[in-house]
Amino acid sequence: MSTLFDQLGGQQGIEQIVDDFYKRIMADNTLNHFFANTDLDKQRQKQVAFFAKIFDGPDQYKGRSMETTHTGMNLQQQHFDNIAKHLSDAVAVRGVSPEDANAALARVSSLKGAILNK
């Protein structure tokens, strides 16, 4: 049976989703300031590994927990909602089925408490 990782296009698909995702984030004035001092090449690698892991692909994520990563950022529900929309749009342009796109968003949404430190 294929995994969500496979349905999203495997490694190459995840990389393309992440590239599009960050283009959308960096064009969004409600979000781009969170990444002002971020090495986006490193961030991209971590995000690809993290998405691969949570979408049932290879577990190569060596980053910090979501709680630790986002502590002190003062992220609010609006920020999370904007991020989720950008991810949804980045997945949708890949031609992924609505079911798989919703499954991907559900995985990310399940981390909301950790990301918002609530």
Q: Do residues 80 and 118 lie in contact, with contact meaning Cβ atoms separated by under 8 Å? A: no
Residue 118 reports pLDDT greater than 80: no
Residue type present at position 35 = F
Name the nearest CA neighbour of 61 among 27, 112, 103, 14: 14
* CATH (domain of 18): 1.10.490.10
The count of structural domains within the chain is 1
pLDDT, position 44: 96
Q: Taking the CA of residue 79 as centre, how many other CA atoms within 13 Å lie in the half-sphere pointing to its CB?
A: 18
Domain range enclosing 101: 4-115
Look at residue 1 and tell me whether its pLDDT is greater than 80. no
Q: pTM for the whole thing?
A: 0.93
Distances (CA, A) of 7 to 1, 3, 77, 103: 10, 6, 28, 10
Residue 83 — very low, low, confident or very high, per pLDDT cuts 50/70/90? very high
Please report the pLDDT score of residue 117 as a whole number. Answer: 84
